Amino acid sequence: MPELIWEKLNCKNQPVGGLGLWRAKVPGGWLVASRCGGGEGSGITFYPDPKHEWNGGSLP
């Protein structure tokens, strides 16, 4: 059975219990999941990147 392999992204300057982000490579791009500290909220989105060129970081 196929499985998702999640990679934790490095979230700098977050308070204790702050934001957590993960990504999983899927056809055509990435699934990106987030969770706020204390279980107060979460979300998931698709980031289109057919060649999987995104290195997981943000732009300066």
pLDDT computed for residue 25 by the predictor: 97
Token pair in block for residue 7? 């990679």
pLDDT-derived band at 2, boundaries 50, 70, 90: confident
Three-state SS at 39: helix
Q: What is the pLDDT of residues 8-55, one digit of tens each?
A: 998 776 666 677 889 999 999 999 998 877 667 789 999 999 999 999
Using the CB atoms, write b or e for 18-29: b if 16+ within 10 Å.
Answer: eeeebbeeeeeb
Q: List the Cα angle 42/3/58 in 5-degree steps.
A: 45
